[in-house]
Chains A and B, each alone.
Chain A
């Protein structure tokens, strides 16, 4: 490091960034705290001169608000389903990909494609694939088009079809659609990281295992997974971080109503609640919910780190 003679220069270079960071990064942290602990805070009223009482009222309200609890359940359910599925799938794909030569580059590129998409735009495509056109009510169904997914399902099972996302669709069907879309979206990043990890593993471990006649499954469980554990931890943690903040992908599928027609908010999440509150000029509640979200993510991350520490011994 070099001691610059002109210290003012450093500050000069820094000043624009520091001003922006102060306003849009540091202040929000303080401001969010203030808003969260000002009971019933709303900027509109604040500007009109109203003052707010300091207290835990926002948190109490959010924690008891049945819709928020429902959103929290949906969020957790999506996380718990998508993170393991996408991680295991990505691991299998990465391992298979790492063991082939012809087509590897092409497949790798294909698998990465979902990453470079607009999650709202492609959400519309998924939505179209699951969408049933016509009257789907159970008593008097008159269907024009079942949607390509149902067409495939009917080709396999005979005549079964499912109301995935249309009016009257069940919760589990909505969740299934979301899980499929989120996993599809999450795979590229996980494959990329895990494949990178695999490629940095010394090939000689695999050669040694080969000479010793180790079965493929055993190599995966006893060598690959332990050696990849730092990457797996990373992928799981970022997966949970993303999962708890799930929002845009749901908008992509279900639209801004966050649910099938006639049942808005059925798929809403914590982040959705934050923005809904914000749009309703309830900044206090939004802040409280955001802090709760932060606490959850922090806790899950710490737990993950703890678990991985116990399982990584080198």
Chain B
């Protein structure tokens, strides 16, 4: 090997200085970039709240104010009291809860069967179900629309619940989780004479709880955010969920102008439960999302 040359001639003091300056500059730039992005991410939320607390006159000023001169909490009250929004909240919550609970029961049972029980044709059946995940949801919507019409479901609440009860994806997610629980546990339970359902309840569900919580939250959020299907069935059903309800409300004042502050107040009210859930279940949501890559 040749003689070592790279380091000796270097001026330690100078190198040390350059390196310090560089690292400080680098850190500053990194934080500047990240904070800028954070501002861009947060700005719409800030603007929503800011706008929702203004009077319409203040909102329409050519030079905008960055905090309302007169804070109009009454906007929120007015939106809620105008009737519709409160009703929409209640109805959406009701539909969301029912579909989440029913969906959980079915998902857990199905995942359990595919993970633990053995019967002929299981693998073929499961592979077939997985294959359907590749197909975009729009394709199902068309036919499901004709189906619910034909079944007469379209005029009652079940139309918002039943078609989405079993999600192949959630079954898959939970089954994977169940599969990781050592089979030995199941054998031990069998030896002790534990029934399948008891075993499911006592061992598998507790161990897979994080996934189940993730599924629950994502399902609830899905109901809250669903737009397309409720919009499609609304004419016959005569009821809306929160999202398409919000869009329909319009917030026009007497002269036909949009009352933006009230609209923003409604948007803030619709967003609030989502943020609340996010704050409390951040970990589960992020975990569930990173594994699923789907919204709701």
Contacts and interface: CB of A to CB of B under 8 A. Distances in A.
A100 B35 CA distance: 12
Nearest to A129: B47
Contact of B38 (A110, A234, A238, A271): A110
B254 interface: no
Interface stretch (A6-14, A48-56, A63-71, A306-314): A6-14
Interface stretch (A15-23, A72-80, A164-172, A221-229): A15-23
B34 A100 contact: yes
A47 to B, nearest CB: 8
Contacts of B165: 17, 20
A51 to B, nearest CB: 16
A88 interface: no
Interface string A12-46: 01101100110111111101100100000001000
A13 B26 contact: no
Contacts of A99: 30
Contact of A107 (B38, B47, B136, B144): B38
Contacts of A192: 286, 289-290
B216 interface: no
A145 B64 contact: yes
Contact of A124 (B31, B45, B267, B282): B267
B227 A251 contact: yes
Contact of A118 (B190, B224, B228, B232): B224
Contacts of A29: 132, 135, 139-140, 143
A23 B138 CA distance: 16
A245 B110 contact: no
Interface residues on B, range: 35 or more
Interface in B231-256: 231-232, 242-244, 246-247
Contact of B62 (A113, A122, A144): A144
A21 B166 contact: yes
Given A111-B41, A125-B47, A196-B290, A117 B260 contact: no
Contact of A184 (B40, B263, B277): B40
Interface string B119-159: 11010000001001011111111111111011000000000
Contacts of A93: 33-34, 37
Nearest to A97: B34
B209 to A, nearest CB: 20
A280 interface: no
Given A17-B166, A116-B274, A283-B146, A110 B41 contact: yes
A248 interface: yes
Contacts of A247: 228
Interface string A275-297: 10011000100110011011001
Given A125-B47, A129-B44, A118 B274 contact: yes
Contacts of A113: 41-42, 45, 275, 278
A91 interface: no
Q: How large is the interface on A (under 10, 10 to 19, 20 to 34, 35 or more residues)?
A: 35 or more
Given A3-B118, A118-B225, A128-B260, A24 B146 contact: no
Contacts of A287: 139, 142-143
Nearest to B48: A125
Contact of B227 (A151, A189, A248): A248
Contact of A92 (B33, B48, B138, B275): B33
Given A2-B117, A23-B147, A31-B146, A13 B112 contact: yes
A103 B33 CA distance: 13
B91 interface: no
B264 interface: yes
B271 A187 contact: no
B140 A24 contact: yes
B98 interface: no
A13 B109 contact: yes
Nearest to A279: B232
A17 B171 contact: yes
Nearest to A235: B293
A122 B116 contact: no
A126 B18 CA distance: 44
Given A28-B140, A116-B221, A118-B271, A111 B38 contact: yes
Contacts of A279: 232
Contact of B136 (A35, A143, A294): A294
Interface of B: 26-27, 30-31, 33-34, 37-38, 40-42, 44-45, 47-48, 51, 59-64, 106-107, 109-110, 112-113, 116-120, 122, 129, 132, 134-147, 149-150, 162-166, 168, 171, 183, 186-187, 190, 196, 221, 224-225, 227-228, 231-232, 242-244, 246-247, 260, 263-264, 267, 270-271, 274-275, 277-278, 282, 285-286, 289-290, 293, 295
| Pairs A-B, 9 closest by C-beta atoms | A28-B143, A31-B143, A10-B117, A17-B110, A116-B278, A28-B140, A290-B139, A10-B119, A125-B48
10 contacts: A2-B183, A14-B109, A24-B164, A29-B143, A43-B149, A109-B282, A116-B275, A116-B278, A196-B290, A286-B142
